[in-house]
Amino acid sequence: MRVLTFLKQVPVLSLVGAFALLFFVIFGGMLAPYDPERVVTGALQSPSTEHWFGTDATGMDVFSRVMAGAQIDIALALVVTVVATVAGVVLGIVIGTFESRRGLAGMAGRGITRFLDLTDAVPPLVIGVVIVGLMGATLTSLSIALALIMSPVQARLTRAEVLKVRNDAYVEAGLMAGLRPMQVTFRHVLPNSMRPAIENCSTVFGFSVIVLASLGFLGVGLNPPTPEWGNMISSGVSGVMLGSWWPVLFPALALMLAVIAAAAVAGLLTRLSRGPAAR
């Protein structure tokens, strides 16, 4: 009964978006009828019953590459979202708790704050290009680059919430009851400061997908023949003016739908984080 009640209260679009993202992460590669990294027929064949999305300039099946690319782009964005949120919450707690204090802890908190301010002045794509250029275009380097881009956002949201929560009565009561500051932080401040970062996870996910595709489009992401939406769009752009629109259209649509699904999930995360009263 609780499950049925929950389903009635959550918008259908949010559930569809969540299940769609998970479905393509798990089964995207299995839906590909051809090897996404192998030439299967002639180049630039238009969509047909044999090749639903046509073939690209090298003769690889576009549908297979879009499905396989979903696993890479969506899975990587999910990993980045988790890592960036965990790192951001930890940094936000540290900054919000210690930046106003004296001594080494206060200096560390203020130093982290200045570093986060510095990252604001650098465009996200520039950070991504530099990190990938230094480490090479691998899944690991892309994950690190995207996590470094997104974690400051989560840290600022958490810090702002910590600054409000740390002066609440129950925090003062915990200190007066004899709890150590770190005990109060992890027992009371942390659980009550995570909500903004959790609600922002879908935004982090959507932005991660866009940045990943942008790096691939610029040629500094995963290189062909690895199926990644950004490099697929980049490889197909030159053929659009000649009438070969399908190698660009279908990965672009997949990218757009992934971001829309993430936006739909945002409502679900907001309701879950705010509890029954918000539903």
Q: CA 57, CA 235: separation in Å to the nearest integer?
A: 8
Residue 52 lies in a domain: yes
Provide the pLDDT for residue 263.
79
Find the CATH number of the domain harbouring 186: 1.10.3720.10
Residue 199 lies in a domain: yes
Gap between the Cα atoms of 156 and 158, Å rounded: 5
d(CA 80, CA 255): 17
pLDDT of res. 191:
82
Whether 18 is covered by a domain: the verdict is no
pTM of the shown model: 0.85
Rounded CA-CA distance 231/219 in Å is 7
Confidence (pLDDT) at 3: 46
Q: Is residue 172 part of a domain?
A: yes
Domain assignment of residue 214, yes or no: yes
pLDDT at 172: 66
Residue 12 lies in a domain: no
pLDDT at 270: 66
* 3-state SS string for the chain: CHHHHHHHHCCHHHHHHHHHHHHHHHHCHHHCCCCCCCCCCCCCCCCCCCCCCCECCCCCEHHHHHHHHHHHHHHHHHHHHHHHHHHHHHHHHHHHHHCCCCHHHHHHHHHHHHHHHHHHCCCHHHHHHHHHHHHCCCHHHHHHHHHHHHHHHHHHHHHHHHHHHCCCHHHHHHHHCCCCHHHHHHHHHCCCCCHHHHHCHHHHHHHHHHHHHHHHHHCCCCCCCCCCHHHHHHHHHHHHCCCCCHHHHHHHHHHHHHHHHHHHHHHHHHHHHHCHHHC
Mean pLDDT by 10 residues, the chain (279 residues): 47 69 79 91 92 94 93 92 94 83 77 84 89 90 93 92 78 68 74 86 91 93 91 92 93 90 73 55
Domain of 154, in residue numbers: 26-278
- Say what the pLDDT of residue 120 is: 80
- Whether residue 37 is contained in a domain is answered as yes
pLDDT of residue 61: 96
Please name which of 230, 190, 195 lies closest in space to residue 210, comparing C-alpha atoms.
Answer: 230
Considering the domain boundaries, does residue 14 fall inside one? no
The number of distinct structural domains making up the chain is: 1
